[in-house]
Structure 1
Amino acid sequence: MTHHAMKMYDYHVWANKELFHRLSELGNDVYHQTVQSVFPSISKVVSHMSIVDQLWFHIISGINMTEALEIEKVESDTKSIEEIIKMFNESTNQYREYLNNQVDLDKILILDTPWAGRRETSISEMLMHISTHGVYHRGNITAMLRQNGYSSVTTDLTSYWYSDQ
């Protein structure tokens, strides 16, 4: 049976694809439009999501957080939605390739954050964090779209359960 954390990561990928498809329909003007919100544009939120997904991939694959933070400083908010979709697809492929190589998802790693210190955590907990982080920011994007008069898409977990993913 597939590990619950992998199911949640698969949900994360599905939900991003659903939202990115909607953003593609709306176009790059909406994607880069300035908004009064938690982030100044949808592209800034998506850039943040991309950076964080890559940061956690580095950590899961054995790079310490301080080094991973240095690697992932490249902002991607100036890219088009098509370029971002390509980046997320590449990131997903990296994750799946790594995780499908018989990685023990319950393996304990030492997470050493510059702001909170050291703690033990498992790869599965990190995957859960990636998934919940995505949920939070997809919610930001939905609110930003609605604030500007556009509809979003449903990316609830139950929608994923009943989809043809």
Structure 2
Amino acid sequence: MKEKLIDLFEYTRHFNMEMIKVISENRALVDDKTVSFINHTLNAQQIWNARILGEETFEVWQINPFESLVELNQKNFLKSIDIINNRDWDTKIEYQNSKGTKFENTVFEMLFHAVNHSTYHRGQINALLKQNGITTVLTDYIFYKR
């Protein structure tokens, strides 16, 4: 199971990179909403990692310097892998969402959500790319495995 979860984060890192690359190559055509979504996608993984590790979180919709996104994606990946390798997945973590509401979930649930959440937003980014006449990225997991 550990290898499968690591594989999902490798998939996430890979297609986050592909999205960053397409956005970078088409900056003149990309709208602010697209930039906001790629930032949000990366911020969310940082937030879930930080909640698990008890670290300071980013703001959900903060806009990071574009040139820092590749490094942020890699840092997120390494932290997620560290969590997978060194944390008990059944441990329940209490945290607050961005509105201050308290919740409790297991490490596994939080990790799985981070993967699923990024997949959802990459789909939104693709829709925005298409609207702006930019060739979309085939981000389905099965394409990654082929």
* Structure 1 length-normalised TM: 0.73
Indicate yes or no: 2:35 matched with 1:43.
yes
For residue 37 of structure 1, what is the aligned residue in structure 2?
Answer: none
Indicate yes or no: 2:144 matched with 1:157.
no
Tell me how far 1:135 sits from its aligned partner. Answer: 0.9
**Taking structure 1 as reference, are residues 5 and 125 closer, same or farther at Cα in structure 2, changes over 3 Å only?**
farther
What is the RMSD of the two structures over their aligned residues, measured on CA atoms? 2.4
Indicate yes or no: 2:103 matched with 1:118.
yes
Unaligned runs of 5+ in 2: none
- Aligned identity (percent) is 24
**Taking structure 1 as reference, are residues 131 and 60 closer, same or farther at Cα in structure 2, changes over 3 Å only?**
same
Residue 75 of structure 1 aligns with an amino acid whose one-letter code is Q
Tell me how far 1:85 sits from its aligned partner. Answer: 1.5
Q: 2:93 aligns with which of 102, 109, 114?
A: 109
Indicate yes or no: 2:75 matched with 1:76.
no
Unaligned runs of 5+ in 1: 35-40
4+ residue runs of structure 1 moved beyond 6 angstroms?
Answer: none
For residue 95 of structure 1, what is the aligned residue in structure 2?
Answer: 80
Contact 1:106 1:123 in 2 (8 A): yes
**Taking structure 1 as reference, are residues 10 and 93 closer, same or farther at Cα in structure 2, changes over 3 Å only?**
same
Q: Select between 103-112 and 122-131 the one with higher mean Cα deviation.
A: 103-112
* Structure 2 length-normalised TM: 0.81
Report how many residues are paired: 144
Secondary structure of 1:118 counterpart: strand
Tell me how far 1:89 sits from its aligned partner. Answer: 1.6
For residue 38 of structure 1, what is the aligned residue in structure 2?
Answer: none
Residues 2-17 of structure 1: pairs in structure 2 closer than 5 A: 2-17=2-17
